[in-house]
């Protein structure tokens, strides 16, 4: 019997092949959950839903109406929602002096207001299931604990989403609702894969991980799995499945420049 046998789950942000949302969805289905995948692209969502024997919903997290419709569809489809996970994000690389107002509005809508919409919708659904409630997770980033240059808006909005999770945990725990954050570090995924091709970039990060390797999407998925089991008596926490990066901190600009420069020099002969 799987660890999530008999449970239902919604995974938002699962419309790109091999991304964290899809990896989590496949793992949860393998562990016995009925899973609804959601995002903005219908074709990959429909294919994944068919693959795992689940359902799908179209949803842009920046739209409150679409988020509420997704939550209601999940409740109607499954009868209840035991788990809801938000994996959306935008790895905006922009300095404080260069970011445009349009970019700032976009990242606030996605990584703060959107998370608020998500939590509000599923707290509403899970409150009706009291006292059994459910488990809520929003993915954040190790950068909120281990700063990295030129990510101020990204880090600021992710920190804001962590505060929202803490407030949900504090305000709705009496209804059986758990709310936690999971924070990967520099992870090879569809969103970041291009960065992994830059010679020397991984070399700048690797020494910062006490466990000797960068975390994978699977590491993140298994952390989410544990938090969603009945054995995880935990709420309002920021789980860091990133091999201890926060103990040493992310590399800074000079570290990255040195590692990339050394790799380029080696390639050039």
| CB-based contacts of 76, cutoff 8 Å, min separation 6 | none
Q: What percent of the chain has pLDDT over 90?
A: 84
Average confidence (pLDDT) over 35-61: 98
- Can you tell me which residue has the tokens 């608020």? 116
| CB-based contacts of 62, cutoff 8 Å, min separation 6 | 109, 110, 113, 114, 117
pLDDT digits (tens, 9 = 90+) for 179-194: 999 999 988 777 676 7
Average confidence (pLDDT) over 243-254: 94
Predicted local distance difference test score (pLDDT) of residue 193? 66
- Can you tell me which residue has the tokens 């101020």? 152
pLDDT digits (tens, 9 = 90+) for 132-165: 999 999 999 999 999 999 999 999 999 999 999 9
Which domains, and CATH codes, for the chain? 8-191+214-248 (3.40.50.720)
Q: What percent of the chain has pLDDT over 70?
A: 98
Predicted local distance difference test score (pLDDT) of residue 263? 76
């Amino acid at each position: 019997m799987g660890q999530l046998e008999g449970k239902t789950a919604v995974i938002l942000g699962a419309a790109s092949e091999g991304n964290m949302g899809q990896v989590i969805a496949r793992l949860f289905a393998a562990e016995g959950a009925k899973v609804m995948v959601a995002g903005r692209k219908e074709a990959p969502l429909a294919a994944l839903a068919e693959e795992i024997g689940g359902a799908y919903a179209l949803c842009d997290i920046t739209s409150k109406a679409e988020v509420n419709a997704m939550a209601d569809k999940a409740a109607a489809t499954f009868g209840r929602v035991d788990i809801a996970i938000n994996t959306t994000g935008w790895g905006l690389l922009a300095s404080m002096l260069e970011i445009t107002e349009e970019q700032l509005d976009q990242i606030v809508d996605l990584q703060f207001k959107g998370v608020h919409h998500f939590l509000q919708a599923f707290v509403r659904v899970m409150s009706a299931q009291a006292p059994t409630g459910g488990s809520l997770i929003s993915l954040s980033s190790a950068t909120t604990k281990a700063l990295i240059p030129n990510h101020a808006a990204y880090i600021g909005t992710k920190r804001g989403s962590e505060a929202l999770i803490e407030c949900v945990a504090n305000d709705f725990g009496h209804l059986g609702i758990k709310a936690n954050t999971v924070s990967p570090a520099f992870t090879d995924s569809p969103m970041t894969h291009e960065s992994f091709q830059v010679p020397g970039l991984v070399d700048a990060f690797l020494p910062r991980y006490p466990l000797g390797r960068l975390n994978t999407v699977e590491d993140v998925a298994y952390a989410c799995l544990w938090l969603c089991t009945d054995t995880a008596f935990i709420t309002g926490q920021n789980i860091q499945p990133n091999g201890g990066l926060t103990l040493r901190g992310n590399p800074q600009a000079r570290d990255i420049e040195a590692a990339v420069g050394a790799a380029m020099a080696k390639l050039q002969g």
